[in-house]
Amino acid sequence: MTHSDLHDLRLTTASAAAAEAFNTTVLGYLRYRTDVSANLKATLDADPDFALAHVMKGYLMMLSFKEANVPTAVAALKTADGLIGRTTPREQAHAAGLRAWTEGDLDRTLAIWEQILDEYPHDILALRLHHFNAFWLGRPGAMAREVEKALPRYSRDLAGWGTLLACRCFAHEELGNYTLAEAAGRDAIDVDKGDLWAAHAVAHILEMQGRCAEGIDWLAGLEPHWEGANNLKHHLWWHRGLYHFERGEFDAVLGLYDRHFRNLASPITEAQPDLYIDVQNAASMLFRLERLGVDVGSRWNEIADKAETRIGDCLSPFTLPHWMMALAATRRFEAGGRMLEAMRKYATTAGTLNARLVADYALPISEAVLLRAKGEPAAAVRIMRPSIGGMYRLGGSHAQQDVLEQLFLDCAVAAGSNDDVALILARVAGRHPVPPERRMGYKHAAHTLS
Protein backbone atom coordinates (compact mmCIF):
# COMPACT_ATOMS: atom_id res chain seq x y z
CA MET A 1 0.00 0.00 0.00
CA THR A 2 1.34 3.47 -0.88
CA HIS A 3 0.74 6.71 0.97
CA SER A 4 0.73 10.32 -0.16
CA ASP A 5 1.65 13.77 1.05
CA LEU A 6 -0.61 16.80 1.49
CA HIS A 7 -0.94 17.16 -2.29
CA ASP A 8 -1.18 13.48 -3.24
CA LEU A 9 2.51 13.08 -4.08
CA ARG A 10 3.80 9.63 -3.21
CA LEU A 11 5.59 9.03 0.09
CA THR A 12 7.78 5.95 0.42
CA THR A 13 6.58 4.49 3.70
CA ALA A 14 4.52 1.43 4.48
CA SER A 15 3.09 3.10 7.58
CA ALA A 16 -0.14 5.06 7.39
CA ALA A 17 0.67 6.54 10.80
CA ALA A 18 4.07 7.71 9.59
CA ALA A 19 2.57 9.30 6.48
CA GLU A 20 -0.06 11.11 8.53
CA ALA A 21 2.49 12.34 11.06
CA PHE A 22 4.80 13.50 8.28
CA ASN A 23 2.01 15.49 6.67
CA THR A 24 1.24 17.06 10.03
CA THR A 25 4.94 17.89 10.37
CA VAL A 26 5.03 19.64 7.01
CA LEU A 27 1.80 21.49 7.75
CA GLY A 28 3.25 22.68 11.06
CA TYR A 29 6.36 23.88 9.25
CA LEU A 30 4.26 25.80 6.74
CA ARG A 31 2.23 27.38 9.55
CA TYR A 32 5.24 28.16 11.81
CA ARG A 33 4.07 26.05 14.72
CA THR A 34 6.07 24.67 17.65
CA ASP A 35 4.84 21.09 17.29
CA VAL A 36 7.00 20.35 14.23
CA SER A 37 9.74 18.48 16.10
CA ALA A 38 7.26 16.39 18.10
CA ASN A 39 5.38 15.42 14.96
CA LEU A 40 8.58 14.54 13.14
CA LYS A 41 9.58 12.34 16.07
CA ALA A 42 6.20 10.62 15.83
CA THR A 43 6.84 10.12 12.12
CA LEU A 44 10.16 8.40 12.67
CA ASP A 45 8.85 6.39 15.62
CA ALA A 46 6.16 5.01 13.31
CA ASP A 47 8.66 4.27 10.52
CA PRO A 48 12.38 4.59 11.29
CA ASP A 49 13.12 3.75 7.63
CA PHE A 50 11.16 6.69 6.21
CA ALA A 51 13.90 8.34 4.15
CA LEU A 52 12.13 11.63 3.43
CA ALA A 53 11.42 12.07 7.13
CA HIS A 54 15.17 11.86 7.82
CA VAL A 55 15.72 14.44 5.08
CA MET A 56 13.12 16.63 6.78
CA LYS A 57 15.05 16.32 10.04
CA GLY A 58 18.12 17.56 8.22
CA TYR A 59 16.18 20.42 6.68
CA LEU A 60 14.95 21.54 10.09
CA MET A 61 18.50 21.55 11.46
CA MET A 62 19.74 23.66 8.56
CA LEU A 63 16.84 26.08 8.94
CA SER A 64 18.27 27.09 12.33
CA PHE A 65 21.32 28.71 10.67
CA LYS A 66 23.45 27.38 13.51
CA GLU A 67 26.79 25.68 12.95
CA ALA A 68 26.30 23.41 15.96
CA ASN A 69 23.26 21.84 14.29
CA VAL A 70 24.95 21.01 10.99
CA PRO A 71 26.42 17.68 12.22
CA THR A 72 22.89 16.53 13.11
CA ALA A 73 21.76 17.46 9.60
CA VAL A 74 24.68 15.55 8.10
CA ALA A 75 23.87 12.51 10.25
CA ALA A 76 20.22 12.65 9.14
CA LEU A 77 21.36 12.80 5.52
CA LYS A 78 23.64 9.81 6.04
CA THR A 79 20.71 7.81 7.40
CA ALA A 80 18.54 8.93 4.50
CA ASP A 81 21.23 7.98 2.00
CA GLY A 82 21.11 4.41 3.25
CA LEU A 83 17.36 4.29 2.53
CA ILE A 84 16.87 6.60 -0.41
CA GLY A 85 17.65 4.11 -3.18
CA ARG A 86 14.22 2.50 -2.92
CA THR A 87 12.28 5.77 -2.87
CA THR A 88 10.80 7.98 -5.58
CA PRO A 89 12.86 10.35 -7.76
CA ARG A 90 11.24 13.30 -5.96
CA GLU A 91 12.34 12.06 -2.56
CA GLN A 92 15.82 11.36 -3.91
CA ALA A 93 15.96 14.92 -5.22
CA HIS A 94 15.14 16.22 -1.75
CA ALA A 95 18.07 14.24 -0.35
CA ALA A 96 20.27 15.83 -3.01
CA GLY A 97 18.97 19.25 -1.97
CA LEU A 98 19.87 18.60 1.64
CA ARG A 99 23.31 17.37 0.62
CA ALA A 100 24.00 20.54 -1.34
CA TRP A 101 22.80 22.65 1.57
CA THR A 102 25.01 20.91 4.14
CA GLU A 103 27.95 21.33 1.75
CA GLY A 104 27.30 25.06 1.52
CA ASP A 105 26.44 25.03 -2.18
CA LEU A 106 23.44 27.31 -1.94
CA ASP A 107 23.07 27.93 -5.65
CA ARG A 108 22.88 24.19 -6.31
CA THR A 109 20.43 23.80 -3.42
CA LEU A 110 18.07 26.34 -4.95
CA ALA A 111 18.51 24.78 -8.40
CA ILE A 112 17.53 21.33 -7.08
CA TRP A 113 14.36 22.67 -5.49
CA GLU A 114 13.56 24.49 -8.71
CA GLN A 115 13.97 21.23 -10.64
CA ILE A 116 11.65 19.50 -8.20
CA LEU A 117 9.07 22.24 -8.72
CA ASP A 118 9.38 22.03 -12.49
CA GLU A 119 8.35 18.37 -12.33
CA TYR A 120 6.19 18.45 -9.21
CA PRO A 121 4.69 21.96 -8.90
CA HIS A 122 2.56 20.78 -5.96
CA ASP A 123 5.64 19.99 -3.84
CA ILE A 124 4.86 22.66 -1.26
CA LEU A 125 7.86 21.67 0.87
CA ALA A 126 10.27 22.42 -1.99
CA LEU A 127 8.46 25.68 -2.70
CA ARG A 128 8.61 26.88 0.90
CA LEU A 129 12.26 25.90 1.35
CA HIS A 130 13.18 27.65 -1.88
CA HIS A 131 11.24 30.77 -0.82
CA PHE A 132 13.04 30.88 2.53
CA ASN A 133 16.55 30.39 1.19
CA ALA A 134 16.13 32.71 -1.79
CA PHE A 135 14.99 35.36 0.69
CA TRP A 136 18.14 34.99 2.79
CA LEU A 137 20.21 35.42 -0.36
CA GLY A 138 18.46 38.65 -1.32
CA ARG A 139 16.70 37.17 -4.37
CA PRO A 140 13.06 38.28 -4.35
CA GLY A 141 12.89 37.84 -8.11
CA ALA A 142 13.60 34.13 -7.73
CA MET A 143 11.00 33.93 -4.96
CA ALA A 144 8.35 35.49 -7.18
CA ARG A 145 9.31 33.42 -10.22
CA GLU A 146 8.73 30.10 -8.49
CA VAL A 147 5.44 31.26 -6.97
CA GLU A 148 4.13 32.53 -10.30
CA LYS A 149 5.17 29.30 -12.05
CA ALA A 150 3.23 27.25 -9.51
CA LEU A 151 0.17 29.49 -9.25
CA PRO A 152 -1.71 28.23 -12.37
CA ARG A 153 -1.29 24.66 -11.12
CA TYR A 154 -2.87 25.35 -7.71
CA SER A 155 -6.44 25.65 -6.54
CA ARG A 156 -8.23 26.58 -3.33
CA ASP A 157 -8.85 22.96 -2.42
CA LEU A 158 -5.12 22.25 -1.96
CA ALA A 159 -3.65 22.36 1.54
CA GLY A 160 -0.85 24.62 0.39
CA TRP A 161 -3.04 27.23 -1.28
CA GLY A 162 -2.80 29.71 1.58
CA THR A 163 0.96 29.18 1.84
CA LEU A 164 1.35 29.86 -1.87
CA LEU A 165 -0.62 33.10 -1.54
CA ALA A 166 1.41 34.16 1.49
CA CYS A 167 4.65 33.53 -0.40
CA ARG A 168 3.29 35.46 -3.37
CA CYS A 169 2.50 38.35 -1.09
CA PHE A 170 5.95 38.50 0.49
CA ALA A 171 7.87 38.04 -2.76
CA HIS A 172 5.98 40.85 -4.46
CA GLU A 173 6.19 43.10 -1.40
CA GLU A 174 9.97 42.84 -1.57
CA LEU A 175 9.78 43.69 -5.28
CA GLY A 176 7.64 46.75 -4.52
CA ASN A 177 4.48 45.39 -6.14
CA TYR A 178 2.38 46.42 -3.17
CA THR A 179 -1.12 46.26 -4.67
CA LEU A 180 -0.72 42.71 -5.98
CA ALA A 181 1.07 41.69 -2.79
CA GLU A 182 -1.55 43.02 -0.39
CA ALA A 183 -4.40 41.32 -2.24
CA ALA A 184 -2.57 37.98 -2.11
CA GLY A 185 -1.76 38.37 1.58
CA ARG A 186 -5.29 39.25 2.59
CA ASP A 187 -6.60 36.32 0.53
CA ALA A 188 -4.21 34.05 2.40
CA ILE A 189 -5.56 35.30 5.74
CA ASP A 190 -9.08 34.58 4.49
CA VAL A 191 -7.92 30.98 3.97
CA ASP A 192 -6.29 30.77 7.42
CA LYS A 193 -6.32 33.57 9.98
CA GLY A 194 -3.50 31.77 11.76
CA ASP A 195 -1.15 32.01 8.76
CA LEU A 196 1.79 33.87 10.29
CA TRP A 197 3.66 34.25 7.01
CA ALA A 198 0.68 35.98 5.42
CA ALA A 199 0.24 38.21 8.48
CA HIS A 200 3.94 39.00 8.29
CA ALA A 201 3.91 39.78 4.58
CA VAL A 202 1.01 42.23 4.86
CA ALA A 203 2.70 43.79 7.92
CA HIS A 204 5.67 44.57 5.66
CA ILE A 205 3.45 46.35 3.15
CA LEU A 206 1.86 48.47 5.87
CA GLU A 207 5.30 49.34 7.26
CA MET A 208 6.72 50.27 3.86
CA GLN A 209 3.74 52.51 3.12
CA GLY A 210 3.80 54.19 6.52
CA ARG A 211 0.38 52.84 7.52
CA CYS A 212 1.35 52.48 11.17
CA ALA A 213 -2.10 52.62 12.78
CA GLU A 214 -3.39 50.03 10.30
CA GLY A 215 -0.37 47.87 11.01
CA ILE A 216 -0.94 47.91 14.76
CA ASP A 217 -4.61 47.01 14.26
CA TRP A 218 -3.75 44.33 11.69
CA LEU A 219 -1.43 42.45 14.02
CA ALA A 220 -3.55 42.97 17.12
CA GLY A 221 -6.58 41.57 15.31
CA LEU A 222 -4.75 38.44 14.17
CA GLU A 223 -2.82 37.74 17.38
CA PRO A 224 -5.63 35.58 18.90
CA HIS A 225 -5.05 33.13 16.01
CA TRP A 226 -1.36 32.56 16.78
CA GLU A 227 -1.86 29.72 19.23
CA GLY A 228 1.03 27.26 19.09
CA ALA A 229 3.10 29.63 16.97
CA ASN A 230 6.90 29.52 17.00
CA ASN A 231 9.43 32.36 16.95
CA LEU A 232 7.85 34.02 13.94
CA LYS A 233 5.31 35.55 16.31
CA HIS A 234 8.26 37.31 17.97
CA HIS A 235 9.07 38.81 14.60
CA LEU A 236 5.46 39.94 14.20
CA TRP A 237 5.65 41.69 17.56
CA TRP A 238 8.90 43.28 16.38
CA HIS A 239 6.98 44.62 13.37
CA ARG A 240 4.40 46.03 15.73
CA GLY A 241 7.28 47.64 17.60
CA LEU A 242 8.42 49.30 14.35
CA TYR A 243 5.02 50.92 13.96
CA HIS A 244 5.22 52.33 17.47
CA PHE A 245 8.82 53.39 16.84
CA GLU A 246 7.78 55.41 13.82
CA ARG A 247 5.12 57.11 15.97
CA GLY A 248 7.70 57.99 18.62
CA GLU A 249 6.03 55.71 21.17
CA PHE A 250 9.26 54.38 22.61
CA ASP A 251 7.80 53.13 25.90
CA ALA A 252 5.44 50.96 23.88
CA VAL A 253 8.40 49.63 21.89
CA LEU A 254 10.29 48.68 25.05
CA GLY A 255 7.14 47.10 26.47
CA LEU A 256 6.82 44.91 23.38
CA TYR A 257 10.52 44.10 23.65
CA ASP A 258 10.35 42.90 27.24
CA ARG A 259 6.98 41.17 27.20
CA HIS A 260 6.93 39.78 23.70
CA PHE A 261 9.70 39.68 21.14
CA ARG A 262 12.59 39.43 23.64
CA ASN A 263 10.83 37.93 26.62
CA LEU A 264 13.61 35.81 28.11
CA ALA A 265 11.14 33.87 30.26
CA SER A 266 9.11 32.73 27.26
CA PRO A 267 9.28 28.95 26.71
CA ILE A 268 9.99 29.58 23.04
CA THR A 269 12.93 31.85 23.85
CA GLU A 270 14.20 29.46 26.50
CA ALA A 271 14.15 26.63 23.96
CA GLN A 272 16.18 28.65 21.41
CA PRO A 273 17.74 31.61 23.22
CA ASP A 274 20.08 32.55 20.37
CA LEU A 275 17.91 31.95 17.31
CA TYR A 276 19.07 34.18 14.46
CA ILE A 277 15.75 35.96 13.83
CA ASP A 278 15.23 36.72 17.53
CA VAL A 279 18.74 38.16 17.77
CA GLN A 280 18.12 40.30 14.69
CA ASN A 281 14.84 41.57 16.15
CA ALA A 282 16.38 42.50 19.47
CA ALA A 283 19.66 44.03 18.33
CA SER A 284 18.17 46.04 15.48
CA MET A 285 15.50 47.55 17.72
CA LEU A 286 17.93 48.44 20.50
CA PHE A 287 20.26 50.01 17.95
CA ARG A 288 17.44 52.13 16.48
CA LEU A 289 16.36 53.28 19.92
CA GLU A 290 19.84 54.16 21.16
CA ARG A 291 20.51 56.20 18.01
CA LEU A 292 17.63 58.45 19.09
CA GLY A 293 18.86 58.75 22.65
CA VAL A 294 16.48 56.25 24.25
CA ASP A 295 17.89 54.58 27.37
CA VAL A 296 17.65 50.82 26.82
CA GLY A 297 19.19 49.92 30.15
CA SER A 298 21.08 46.65 30.40
CA ARG A 299 19.19 44.88 27.63
CA TRP A 300 22.29 44.52 25.45
CA ASN A 301 24.12 42.37 27.98
CA GLU A 302 22.39 39.04 27.45
CA ILE A 303 22.72 39.37 23.67
CA ALA A 304 26.41 40.16 24.00
CA ASP A 305 26.88 37.11 26.25
CA LYS A 306 25.37 34.94 23.55
CA ALA A 307 27.37 36.68 20.83
CA GLU A 308 30.61 35.59 22.49
CA THR A 309 29.51 31.97 22.35
CA ARG A 310 28.73 32.26 18.62
CA ILE A 311 32.08 33.66 17.50
CA GLY A 312 33.09 31.71 14.40
CA ASP A 313 29.54 30.70 13.46
CA CYS A 314 28.97 32.42 10.13
CA LEU A 315 26.02 30.44 8.74
CA SER A 316 23.79 33.52 8.90
CA PRO A 317 25.81 36.40 7.42
CA PHE A 318 23.02 38.91 7.99
CA THR A 319 23.02 38.13 11.72
CA LEU A 320 26.73 38.84 12.15
CA PRO A 321 26.46 42.65 12.27
CA HIS A 322 23.68 42.23 14.83
CA TRP A 323 25.91 40.13 17.07
CA MET A 324 28.56 42.82 16.67
CA MET A 325 26.08 45.53 17.67
CA ALA A 326 25.71 43.83 21.03
CA LEU A 327 29.46 43.44 21.56
CA ALA A 328 30.03 47.06 20.56
CA ALA A 329 27.22 48.42 22.73
CA THR A 330 28.67 46.64 25.77
CA ARG A 331 32.22 47.80 24.93
CA ARG A 332 33.46 44.24 24.49
CA PHE A 333 36.01 45.32 21.95
CA GLU A 334 38.35 42.38 22.47
CA ALA A 335 35.51 39.95 21.77
CA GLY A 336 34.54 42.06 18.78
CA GLY A 337 38.06 41.76 17.44
CA ARG A 338 37.95 38.00 17.85
CA MET A 339 34.66 37.89 15.99
CA LEU A 340 36.13 39.87 13.10
CA GLU A 341 39.16 37.59 12.96
CA ALA A 342 36.93 34.50 12.92
CA MET A 343 34.92 36.03 10.09
CA ARG A 344 38.11 36.72 8.11
CA LYS A 345 39.25 33.14 8.58
CA TYR A 346 35.87 31.79 7.48
CA ALA A 347 35.77 34.11 4.49
CA THR A 348 39.15 32.91 3.22
CA THR A 349 38.84 29.19 3.93
CA ALA A 350 35.21 28.08 3.55
CA GLY A 351 35.11 28.42 -0.24
CA THR A 352 31.33 28.80 -0.42
CA LEU A 353 28.83 31.43 -1.51
CA ASN A 354 28.19 32.09 2.18
CA ALA A 355 31.89 32.79 2.68
CA ARG A 356 31.84 35.33 -0.15
CA LEU A 357 28.84 37.05 1.41
CA VAL A 358 30.70 37.27 4.71
CA ALA A 359 33.83 38.62 3.01
CA ASP A 360 32.11 41.21 0.85
CA TYR A 361 29.34 42.43 3.15
CA ALA A 362 29.00 41.01 6.66
CA LEU A 363 32.66 41.58 7.53
CA PRO A 364 32.99 45.24 6.50
CA ILE A 365 29.61 46.10 8.00
CA SER A 366 30.53 44.41 11.27
CA GLU A 367 33.86 46.20 11.28
CA ALA A 368 32.00 49.48 10.79
CA VAL A 369 29.82 48.70 13.81
CA LEU A 370 32.92 48.23 15.94
CA LEU A 371 34.69 51.33 14.59
CA ARG A 372 31.62 53.44 15.31
CA ALA A 373 31.60 52.28 18.92
CA LYS A 374 35.31 53.10 19.22
CA GLY A 375 34.66 56.68 18.08
CA GLU A 376 36.03 56.30 14.55
CA PRO A 377 33.02 57.14 12.34
CA ALA A 378 35.07 58.28 9.33
CA ALA A 379 36.89 54.94 9.25
CA ALA A 380 33.53 53.17 9.61
CA VAL A 381 32.13 55.06 6.62
CA ARG A 382 35.22 54.32 4.56
CA ILE A 383 35.15 50.58 5.21
CA MET A 384 31.38 50.18 4.83
CA ARG A 385 30.82 52.37 1.77
CA PRO A 386 31.82 49.73 -0.85
CA SER A 387 29.31 47.25 0.56
CA ILE A 388 26.27 49.55 0.48
CA GLY A 389 25.18 48.76 -3.06
CA GLY A 390 25.31 44.98 -2.66
CA MET A 391 24.45 44.35 0.97
CA TYR A 392 20.96 43.25 -0.10
CA ARG A 393 22.69 39.97 -0.97
CA LEU A 394 22.89 39.25 2.77
CA GLY A 395 19.13 38.75 2.65
CA GLY A 396 16.70 40.30 5.03
CA SER A 397 13.76 42.44 4.02
CA HIS A 398 13.79 46.14 3.28
CA ALA A 399 12.58 46.65 6.86
CA GLN A 400 15.45 44.54 8.25
CA GLN A 401 18.14 46.00 5.99
CA ASP A 402 17.03 49.43 7.14
CA VAL A 403 19.07 49.16 10.35
CA LEU A 404 22.25 48.79 8.29
CA GLU A 405 21.34 51.91 6.35
CA GLN A 406 20.78 53.75 9.62
CA LEU A 407 24.20 52.54 10.76
CA PHE A 408 25.87 54.07 7.72
CA LEU A 409 23.86 57.29 8.07
CA ASP A 410 24.82 57.61 11.71
CA CYS A 411 28.51 57.20 10.91
CA ALA A 412 28.33 59.61 7.97
CA VAL A 413 26.67 62.27 10.12
CA ALA A 414 29.22 61.81 12.91
CA ALA A 415 32.06 62.00 10.39
CA GLY A 416 30.65 65.19 8.88
CA SER A 417 30.53 63.59 5.44
CA ASN A 418 27.59 65.29 3.76
CA ASP A 419 28.22 63.44 0.49
CA ASP A 420 27.75 60.12 2.28
CA VAL A 421 24.69 61.42 4.12
CA ALA A 422 23.21 62.41 0.77
CA LEU A 423 24.18 59.03 -0.69
CA ILE A 424 22.35 57.00 1.93
CA LEU A 425 19.32 59.30 2.03
CA ALA A 426 18.97 58.98 -1.74
CA ARG A 427 19.28 55.21 -1.48
CA VAL A 428 16.63 55.04 1.24
CA ALA A 429 14.31 57.36 -0.68
CA GLY A 430 14.56 55.08 -3.70
CA ARG A 431 13.68 51.98 -1.73
CA HIS A 432 11.02 53.23 0.66
CA PRO A 433 7.74 54.90 -0.38
CA VAL A 434 7.77 57.13 2.71
CA PRO A 435 10.34 59.94 2.24
CA PRO A 436 13.26 60.12 4.70
CA GLU A 437 12.12 63.44 6.17
CA ARG A 438 8.99 61.68 7.46
CA ARG A 439 10.75 58.66 8.96
CA MET A 440 11.95 58.54 12.54
CA GLY A 441 15.46 57.26 11.83
CA TYR A 442 16.18 59.68 8.99
CA LYS A 443 14.24 62.91 9.39
CA HIS A 444 16.80 64.79 11.46
CA ALA A 445 19.57 64.11 8.93
CA ALA A 446 17.24 64.83 6.01
CA HIS A 447 16.16 68.21 7.39
CA THR A 448 19.72 69.12 8.39
CA LEU A 449 21.07 68.33 4.93
CA SER A 450 18.35 70.30 3.18
pLDDT digit string (tens) for the chain, length 450 residues = 589 999 999 999 999 999 999 999 999 999 999 999 999 999 999 999 999 999 999 999 999 999 999 999 999 999 999 999 999 999 999 999 999 999 999 999 999 999 999 999 999 999 999 999 999 999 999 999 999 999 999 999 999 999 999 999 999 999 999 999 999 999 999 999 999 999 999 999 999 999 999 999 999 999 999 999 999 999 999 999 999 999 999 999 999 999 999 999 999 999 999 999 999 999 999 999 999 999 999 999 999 999 999 999 999 999 999 999 999 999 999 999 999 999 999 999 999 999 999 999 999 999 999 999 999 999 999 999 999 999 999 999 999 999 999 999 999 999 999 999 999 999 999 989 999 999 999 999 999 987
Domain annotation covers residue 344: yes
Q: How many CA atoms lie within 13 A of 77 on its CB side?
A: 22
Asked whether 352 and 324 are in contact (CB, 8 A), the reply is no
pLDDT of res. 1: 59
Q: Distance between CA 218 and CA 212 in Å, rounded? A: 10
The residue count for the chain: 450
Domain annotation covers residue 317: yes
Reference 402, options 236, 213, 295, 242; nearest CA is 242
Q: Distance between CA 189 and CA 184 in Å, rounded? A: 9
Domain annotation covers residue 320: yes
Asked whether 325 and 286 are in contact (CB, 8 A), the reply is yes
- The amino acid present at 373, given as its one-letter code, is A
Other Cβ atoms closer than 10 A to 182: 19
Asked whether 164 and 124 are in contact (CB, 8 A), the reply is yes
Domain annotation covers residue 10: no
Asked whether 340 and 363 are in contact (CB, 8 A), the reply is yes
Q: Distance between CA 161 and CA 176 in Å, rounded? A: 22
Domain annotation covers residue 87: no
Reference 135, options 119, 124, 125, 146; nearest CA is 146
Total domains in the chain come to 1
pLDDT of res. 450: 77
Q: Distance between CA 369 and CA 384 in Å, rounded? A: 9
pLDDT of res. 2: 80
Structural domain boundaries, residue 426: 274-450
Reference 273, options 223, 314, 231; nearest CA is 231
CA 23, 29, 31, 32 torsion: positive or negative?
positive
Other Cβ atoms closer than 10 A to 265: 8
Other Cβ atoms closer than 10 A to 112: 23
Domain annotation covers residue 153: no
CA 365, 369, 371, 376 torsion: positive or negative?
positive
Q: How far is CA 290 from CA 210, 283, 368, in A?
A: 22, 11, 17
Domain annotation covers residue 413: yes
What pTM was estimated for this model as a whole?
A: 0.97
Q: Distance between CA 130 and CA 369 in Å, rounded? A: 31
Domain annotation covers residue 177: no
Reference 361, options 334, 336, 333, 383; nearest CA is 383
Q: How many CA atoms lie within 13 A of 447 on its CB side?
A: 7
